[in-house]
Structure 1
Amino acid sequence: MVPRRIERLAGLAIQVVILCIFLVGVYTRNPSVVVNAVLALGATFLPAVLRRDWQIRLHPLFGLWLTLAVLLHAAGMLGPYNYIDWWDHVTHTLSATVVAAVGYVTARAVDEYTEAVYLPDRFMFVYILLFTLAAGVFWEVLEFGARLAAEAIGSEAVLVQYGLADTIVDLVFDTVGAVLVALFGAPPLADTIDSIRERLERTGP
């Protein structure tokens, strides 16, 4: 297990890199780099907020997992998305694992909190896939909308969408990320599920 101190130092290093990406975007007057860097930097603070304000116990690797995903996305806006074929595949797979993990721990915590809900393991596998793909479709719609909006006002798109073939490939790698969590995500996420269930018990009726 990664010690919390190493996790914090690695997270801080990633935040510094994202800040540098933001400054590059400002210097080059590239709004897509700036906006995505700001959103990525904000996302890196989410694990600390969940731990401090919501008392959610997260696996030490989760923070690095999330920050690495947003770092690769922010860095991709500098050019790798256009020049490195596999970059988009990696970012979609990593992001999909994060989304799948969120869907899994939320559903499983509710399942353990109330007897009114029963989610068998076979259903959970399908649920994780559908939840992740739904989020993936929503993201692709955002990309498409961002492109149309940028074309309408004559500016650079904040999110880039390369066509139907690219969308299908993105969803394939979203599925890969979901399957990885469905097959191997339960053990490292167990403590997080317990902490969410405990919070529901404290705040529930």
Structure 2
Amino acid sequence: MFWSGTVTIFHFTGLIFEIYTIVSWWDLLTHTMSGSGIAALALLTHRERVVTRKAVWWIVPTVIAIRAGFEVYEFVFKSFWHEWTLRHYLIDTAVDLAVSTLGTVVVASVANHYWIAADDVTAGWSTPNNAD
């Protein structure tokens, strides 16, 4: 909840105070944060499924699909947001999807390494009182 609130505040602060036009990397920051936030939320929501299957990489195409949906939404209302050319919009969309995917891959990598490490720890455990 904190993460989504932070991303939302960053986004609307960027719009209201025109930070997107002043700070060249602001858009990259907000899209990377949103990609990682969506990935983390999806992994936490489907935690039982992920733990039993030991697979986290399904999250990458899932977040790409969600972010692509948002980019379509942004394109439909682009005259409301920006007066961009189609070429500029396509480049922006490609960059937005790339950095969102980067954020997603970071979260998936961290989750994957976490569960591998957790498996290594539990693999060494024996039954209570070593009653094998």
Flag whether TM exceeds 0.5 (same fold): yes
> Which residue among 156, 167, 178 is the counterpart of 2:93?
167
Q: What's the counterpart of residue 96 of structure 1? A: 35
How many residues align? The count is: 108
Q: In structure 2, how many angstroms separate the alpha carbons of the residues matched to 1:81 and 1:109?
A: 39
Q: What's the counterpart of residue 53 of structure 2? A: 119
Q: In structure 1, how many angstroms separate the alpha carbons of the residues matched to 2:36 and 2:49?
A: 20
Q: In structure 1, how many angstroms separate the alpha carbons of the residues matched to 2:6 and 2:42?
A: 19
Per the TM alignment, residue 167 of structure 1 is displaced from its structure 2 partner at its CA by 0.4
Q: Which runs of 4+ in 1 moved over 3 A?
A: 159-162
Q: In structure 2, how many angstroms separate the alpha carbons of the residues matched to 1:120 and 1:68?
A: 30
Q: What's the counterpart of residue 135 of structure 1? A: 66
Per the TM alignment, residue 120 of structure 1 is displaced from its structure 2 partner at its CA by 3.3
Q: In structure 1, how many angstroms separate the alpha carbons of the residues matched to 2:97 and 2:23?
A: 18
Letter in 1 for 2:92: D
Letter in 1 for 2:95: V
Query: Does the CA contact (< 8 Å) of 1:108 and 1:119 recur in 2?
Result: no
Per the TM alignment, residue 102 of structure 1 is displaced from its structure 2 partner at its CA by 1.7
Q: 1:140 to 1:107 in 2, by over 3 A?
A: same
Q: What's the counterpart of residue 107 of structure 2? A: 181
Indicate the RMSD between aligned Cα atoms, in angstroms.
2.1
Letter in 2 for 1:82: T
> Is 1:84 aligned with 2:46?
no
Q: What's the counterpart of residue 74 of structure 1? A: 12
The superposition leaves residues 76-109 of structure 1 with CA deviations (integer Å, 9 ceiling, x where unpaired) of 1021112221000000011111111122122333
Higher RCO by CA contacts (8 Å cutoff, separation 6 or greater): 2
Per the TM alignment, residue 185 of structure 1 is displaced from its structure 2 partner at its CA by 4.1
Q: Percent identity?
A: 30
Which SS does the other structure have where 1:77 is aligned?
Answer: helix
Query: Does the CA contact (< 8 Å) of 2:43 and 2:50 recur in 1?
Result: no
Unaligned runs of 5+ in 2: 115-132
Query: Does the CA contact (< 8 Å) of 1:94 and 1:177 recur in 2?
Result: yes
TM-score normalised according to structure 1 size: 0.47
